[in-house]
Amino acid sequence: MSANNGHLIEMQGITKTFPGTVALDNVDFDLRPGEVHALIGENGAGKSTLIKIIAGIYQPDAGTMRVNGQAVTFRSPIDSIEQRIKVVYQELDLCPNLSVAENVFLGGYPRASFGRVDWKTLYSRTGELLQELGLDIDPHTTIDQLRVAEQQLVEIARALSRQAQILVMDEPTSALSPTEVEKLFALITTLKSRGVGVMYVSHKLDEIYQIADRVTVFRDGQRIVTKPVSETQPHQLVEWMVGREVRDLFPKTETQIGKTLLEVRDVSGGGVQNLNLTVRAGEVVAVFGLMGAGVHTIGRALFGDSERTGTVTLDGKIIKPNSPVNAIHGGLGLLTESRKEDGLVMLLSVKENLSLTALRRFARFSWISFRAEAKAATSYVEQLGIKTPTISRKVRLLSGGNQQKTLIGRWLLQNPKVLILSEPTRGIDVGSKAEIYRLINKMAHDGMGLLVLSTELPEVLGIADRILVVRKGEITGEFSRAEATQEMLMTAATTAEPLAAAARGIN
């Protein structure tokens, strides 16, 4: 392969295996200067493994890699960095207690005499870099004072401070608002104009059509297709990803709505103000709002995970504030938006994560019946279609979709009357989303009450019987499934209180 073939990076025949798994099977991938090349696929398709090979974290078992036409072998992340490659992961790699400037030049501070850090130069150079990128961020601000979107932009600035020519972005918009996404895309466009190549990994197909030039689809560790984005249709991308046609992403069917199970009256606290809502047996109620509107804090307030006033009644019994244990015993479950931080115990197995909140079921005279625990875990793995070679496998080794199904299985094992699901499909692929939606539909059919907290418009429109809209911690609209439209929900989510009142449709 010649050095002037126009590729920043070119990978051919890359294969990587782990015990019992072929993560990558003879795949090819390349990136050109000034382009955004999107990489998509279901969870477990091999995207993360390819990223880690590019980053020097994993070494391939077979295949070749060239950077600017020269053959390279990465033995460590340092080798990747030396080739001017920067990976921006979903979990940002910043030091929260240091300033923006200290993070941007971390490991390469400008020096004055006697090896001392030249702080004046450090802050002035950072300011110039941020201004160059059109970022209105004070270099003296500590990272923990910035929003997630701003932290992400600082990560990119750090990459450019090291003259990165290849930028790998892993699910960069998973926690961003629409306005913040626009800022990120504007910055990516600036990078393209400078000849930087961007490898963009995302589950959001609408973003692929907004920002990418080419798209590569992975499935089961293999490269299925690489095409210019302009030559594809969304339904084709989905079919290539899952290997089948996904006809009905939202398999919502009518259920028998029963008695009121959850009743929330005048609840305030944790960013929520005067919250009133009900959830009935067999009903899916969705709460929609933009990022930062207070959608996610609702679940924690109701579950007793934060200070609150007001009353929460579940099947006639009051759920005490500040007592998640009381909530669980009363029949309330909470699946948080952060499955890795607040949901799963990543060092434990699938079996142990499934049974975590239901160990009393397997206790006999203070002893755990491991046979009964394993039998129950195996049953739910089969029922939910959790893809794992064994229930003893560490949950951290599962794909995002299977991790999410493990969390749902945990609560099904607990058998709650009402389950709160916060961002139930965040960071998982289209095929897994359809499976999660089918599970939600089945739980409603079985008589459970579901409260879904989501910032995804298509999701709430597709799965809910009723939709509440929240803005600045307050409900600004309520709509039935039949009447709700994207325009109505966005109006209620973005318009000032006096204007939104007319659109509420609530008494």
Same domain assignment for residues 306 and 172: no
CA distance 65 to 71: 6
Q: What strand order describes the sheet that includes 197-201?
A: 85-88, 166-170, 197-201, 36-41, 214-219, 222-228
Same domain, 173 and 306: no
DSSP state of 140: T
Whether 236 is in a domain gets the answer: yes
8 A C-beta contact, residue 445 and residue 255: yes
From first to last of its 507 residues, the chain has per-residue pLDDT tens of 344 468 999 999 999 998 777 899 999 999 999 999 999 987 678 898 999 999 999 999 999 999 999 999 999 999 998 999 999 887 777 898 999 999 998 878 888 888 888 899 999 999 988 887 778 889 999 998 988 778 888 888 887 787 889 999 988 887 777 777 888 898 899 889 999 999 999 888 889 999 999 999 998 899 999 999 999 998 888 888 877 665 566 766 778 899 999 999 999 987 888 999 999 999 999 999 877 788 888 988 898 887 889 999 999 999 888 788 888 888 999 988 877 777 889 899 999 999 887 877 887 777 888 888 899 999 989 888 888 889 999 998 887 778 888 988 888 888 899 999 998 888 777 777 888 888 899 999 999 999 999 988 888 999 999 999 998 888 999 999 888 888 888 888 876 543 333 344 443
On whether residue 348 sits in a domain, the answer given is no
- In angstroms, rounded to a whole number, what is the distance separating the alpha carbons of residues 188 and 69? 24
Instruction: Indicate the residue among 192, 207, 242 that finishes a domain.
Output: 242
Are 201 and 316 members of one domain? no
Asked if residue 434 is part of any domain, the answer here is yes
* Residue 353 lies inside a defined structural domain of this protein: no
Range of the domain at 138: 9-242
Residues 6+ apart with CB under 8 A from 160: 129, 133, 191, 196
Same domain, 151 and 20: yes
Asked if the structure places residue 459 within a domain, the reply is: yes
d(CA 145, CA 100): 10
Q: pTM for the whole thing?
A: 0.66
Whether residue 405 is contained in a domain is answered as no
**Domain with 300 in it: what CATH number?**
3.40.50.300
Tokens for 485, please give them: 């439209």
Task: Answer whether residue 349 is part of any domain.
Answer: no
Residues 121 and 192 occupy one common structural domain = yes
Residue 345 CA to residue 340 CA, distance in Å, equals 7
Let me know whether 180 and 301 are in one domain: no
Strand 36-41, strand 272-280: pairing: unpaired
Q: Are residues 129 and 266 in the same domain?
A: no
Number of domains in the chain: 2
Q: For residues 223 and 284, state if they share a domain.
A: no
- Is residue 247 situated within a structural domain? no
Cα radius of gyration rounded to whole Å, the chain: 24
**Residue 486 β-bridge partners:** none
Q: Are 41 and 200 in contact (CB under 8 A)?
A: no
